[in-house]
Structure 1
Amino acid sequence: MKKFFIFFFFVSLSFYTSAQNKEEKVRVSPKAEFMQVVGFTEVRIIYSRPGVKGREIWGGLVPYNQVWRAGANEATKFIFSSDVYIEGKLLKAGAYSFFAISGKNEWTLIFNKIADQWGAFEYNEAQDAVRIKVKPEKSIIHQEWLEYTITKTSDYSAVVRLEWEKLKVPFKIEVKN
């Protein structure tokens, strides 16, 4: 009987320690993944979702005219199962980190060949595969947690939007049939 209580004590202790470790590792900006098929191409977006939490986002938490990881924690990652055109520019199939340079009236969106990066700390412009310029759109709806959406516009095209706070940043993806 004594052995049973000792065994039970250690099993309980290990469950308690395991549960406690899980609580300590909860992400403030939870990880998310979104996938949409456009034509025959899988478009996958892996990112972390920071919250507004009453902060000034544009020009504050996300400074204007600086490279931003377009999410939180690890750099946002796009994976394309076949070649795509981003706003008319060819991007080969594969995995890319995704960065943005925000501006009040224009943004630069960047697909970088180094897919797995933490933040933008080691971002290297020489590794950029595609850069595009887009216009941000104001939204009347408050988006508390950063989100990526994909809206199909035809069998072979879609609009991807980064949506956060009261801003949407759209860009077009096209695939060949």
Structure 2
Amino acid sequence: MRSFLFTALAIVTTMVASAQDQDKSKRPSPPATVTQALAGGTEVTINYSQPSVKGRTIGKDLEPKAGEVWRTGANEATTFEVTKDVKIEGKTLPAGKYSLFSIAGTNEWTIIFNKTWNQWGAYKYKQDEDALRVKVKPGKAAQFAEKMTFTIDEKGTVTIWWGNLQVPFKVQG
């Protein structure tokens, strides 16, 4: 019996280690990174996983659901990193690395920068760890985006594109 338990434990340990070392690019929601240097020399980097619409309806059979905290991506929480202090929609965010969450709404979204950047999804999200929250206006995208994508332009506009949705917010630094 003891050797059976030892063998079972060894198999489970191997499976867990293998799952942790998996090639993330082969996930259904693969990882992506976008980096942009702003005019003031600040570098902005966003690391995220790209969920796909796959014929589903965003907000109904697919996150983000209105009024709920969402990891703004898939898998691990999306991270947002700035090399210098910046202003997000006019509010100060110190240099550093944050998890990026959002709360969707029809006419307004809340973009959340949380101090606990290394977390899975929104399962352990704690509002008291928020460094900053800003309100922004979503819009209709000119072109459908099957995979959720972040862009950052040279002027510091970060935009979340997904389905027919675009959610921009301004970073100055």
User: What's the TM-score bracket when you normalise by the shorter of the two chains?
Assistant: 0.7 to 0.9
Q: Residue 174 in 1 paired to residue 172 in 2?
A: yes
Q: Which residue of 2 aligns with 1:9?
A: none
Name the SS for the 1:152 alignment partner: coil
Q: Which residue of 1 aligns with 2:3?
A: none
TM-score (norm 2): 0.83
Alignment partners' CA distance in 2, 1:28 and 1:59: 20
Q: Percent identity?
A: 49
TM-score (norm 1): 0.81
Q: Which residue of 1 aligns with 2:111?
A: 109
Residue identity in the other structure for 2:158: V
Deviations 1:62-105, CA, capped at 9 Å, x for gaps: 11100000000001001111101000111000000000000111
CA-based RMSD of the aligned residues comes to 1.9
How do 1:112-131 residues align onto structure 2 when only pairs under 5 Å count? 112-131=114-133
Q: Which residue of 2 aligns with 1:47?
A: 48
Match of 2:145 among 135, 140, 143: 143
Q: Residue 58 in 1 paired to residue 59 in 2?
A: yes
Structure 1, unmatched stretches of 5+, are 1-17
Pair 78,24 (structure 1): closer, same or farther in 2 beyond 3 Å: closer
Deviations 1:138-161, CA, capped at 9 Å, x for gaps: 1131100000001123xxxx1000
Name the SS for the 1:74 alignment partner: coil
Higher Cα radius of gyration: 1
Structure 2, unmatched stretches of 5+, are 1-17
* Number of equivalences: 152
Deviation >4 Å, runs of 4+: 21-25
